[in-house]
């Protein structure tokens, strides 16, 4: 599909909730957006997906965006923040975007998406007095879910640019919940397996613990900067009830992630302890086998020395005796020594 045929611009206008899509700024015809619709009291929302530098410049000229805002969007500023400008305020948040797949529906909201590969991306929200502009990336489903939420609003008077911003932040934070629950289930599974795993399973188990800690740290890092963003809304009293709800969700998820991080930390300690115990057991078995070999060598090496002495080409006792008395006497002494030595070592628990 050519870039010209991709509908990257999406405009939602109230009160009729009219939705228009276009592949370019000229096709959308947005030159009167900053004037007429504001005077008519309409609320509008423009979303630009995978915006190019030219797209950002076109929107900036129409809406009188500050050069610093344009620079942040073009270079994909990674720091989460909120900044206030004369005619709008800018919010930058980090999201978890699903990796785009061919044939994926825009409105797909299946709960199994928590298992879909994710990649961090930035969402830029510009809130004007009568409208909102967002710059998102492919795979970012927050905009489609918020549009669906707007279509289900029973009271159109609630819809405003600030409310759209709240809905986006609420959806971004709530999108971390499935990933947190997936990490929680994985940690419980590891916790059940860690004490019953065989020696051959230890390496894959350690890799699973490393991966889950990496996921938890990634989620915590993505959420950590959002507290400062929400605190920047304290002065906007008209949204204090909505923002309190978002703040509660954020605090809850961060608390759960901190708890999971503590659990996985203990899992890693338990894994290392279990590995140490297994190594000690193996060492004990090896030492036990070596001690038995040492005991047997202690018994038989002196006997081999005696037989070696009698095999020398020199005169030895009993050499001139034609009977077998000396032979059976020597064999009897050997047997007696072996029996006595084995009895002693068994009593000493060395055999």
Q: What is the pLDDT of residues 3-35, one digit of tens each?
A: 556 788 888 887 666 788 888 887 776 545 544
CATH 1.20.58 boundaries in the chain: 290-347
Out of 94-98, 184-188, 234-238, pick the least confident. Answer: 234-238
Per-residue pLDDT at 2 exceeds 70: no
b vs e for 307-343, b when ≥16 Cβ sit within 10 Å of the residue's Cβ?
Answer: eeeeeeeeeeeeeeeeeeeeeeebeeebeeeeeebee
- Whole-number pLDDT of residue 30: 52
Rounded CA separation 32/43 (Å) = 14
* Residues whose CB falls within 8 Å of the CB of residue 21, separated by 6 or more in sequence, listed in order: 7, 9, 10, 11
Helical residues (DSSP H) of 31-154, grouped into ranges: 36-39, 53-63, 67-75, 142-151
Q: How are beta strands 9-13 and 44-49 bridged, if at all?
A: antiparallel
Per-residue pLDDT at 139 exceeds 70: yes
Q: What CATH fold (topology level) applies to the domain 1-99+118-155?
A: Beta Polymerase; domain 2 (3.30.460)
Out of 2-6, 73-77, 294-298, 315-319, pick the least confident. Answer: 2-6
- Whole-number pLDDT of residue 234: 60
The CATH number of 290-347 is 1.20.58
pTM here is: 0.70
Confidence of residue 138 (pLDDT cuts 50, 70, 90): confident
DSSP SS3 for 113:
helix
Confidence of residue 239 (pLDDT cuts 50, 70, 90): low
- Whole-number pLDDT of residue 300: 83
CATH 3.30.460.20 boundaries in the chain: 1-99+118-155
């Amino acid at each position: 599909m050519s870039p010209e045929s991709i509908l990257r611009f999406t405009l939602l206008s109230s009160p009729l909730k009219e939705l228009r899509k276009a592949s370019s700024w000229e096709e959308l015809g947005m030159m009167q957006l900053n004037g007429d619709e504001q005077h008519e009291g309409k609320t509008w929302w423009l979303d630009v997906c995978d915006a190019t530098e030219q797209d950002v410049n076109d929107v900036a000229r129409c809406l009188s965006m500050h050069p610093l805002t344009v620079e942040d969007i073009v270079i994909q500023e990674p720091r989460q923040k909120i900044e206030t400008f004369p005619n709008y305020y800018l919010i930058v948040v980090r999201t978890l975007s699903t990796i785009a797949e061919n044939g994926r529906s825009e409105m797909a909201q299946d709960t199994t998406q928590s298992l879909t590969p994710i990649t961090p991306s930035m969402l830029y929200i510009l809130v004007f007095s009568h409208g909102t502009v967002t710059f998102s990336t492919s795979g970012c489903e927050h905009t489609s879910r918020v549009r669906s939420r707007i279509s289900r609003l029973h009271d159109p008077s609630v819809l405003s640019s600030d409310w759209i911003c709240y809905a986006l932040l609420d959806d971004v934070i709530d999108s971390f919940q499935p990933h947190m629950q997936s990490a929680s289930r994985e940690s419980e599974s590891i916790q059940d397996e860690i004490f019953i795993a065989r020696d051959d399973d230890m390496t894959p188990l350690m890799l699973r613990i490393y991966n889950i800690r990496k996921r938890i740290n990634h989620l915590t890092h993505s959420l950590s900067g959002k507290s400062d963003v929400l605190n920047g809304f304290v002065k906007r009293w008209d949204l204090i009830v909505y923002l309190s709800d978002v703040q509660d969700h954020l605090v809850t998820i961060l608390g759960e992630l901190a708890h999971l991080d503590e659990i996985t930390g203990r899992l890693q300690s338990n894994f290392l302890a279990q590995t140490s115990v297994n190594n000690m057991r193996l060492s004990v078995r090896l030492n036990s086998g070596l001690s038995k070999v040492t005991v047997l060598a202690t018994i038989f090496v002196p006997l081999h020395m005696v037989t070696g002495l009698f095999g020398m080409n020199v005169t030895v006792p009993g050499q001139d005796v034609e009977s077998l008395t000396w032979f059976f006497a020597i064999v009897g002494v050997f047997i007696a020594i072996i029996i006595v030595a084995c009895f002693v070592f068994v009593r000493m628990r060395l055999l």
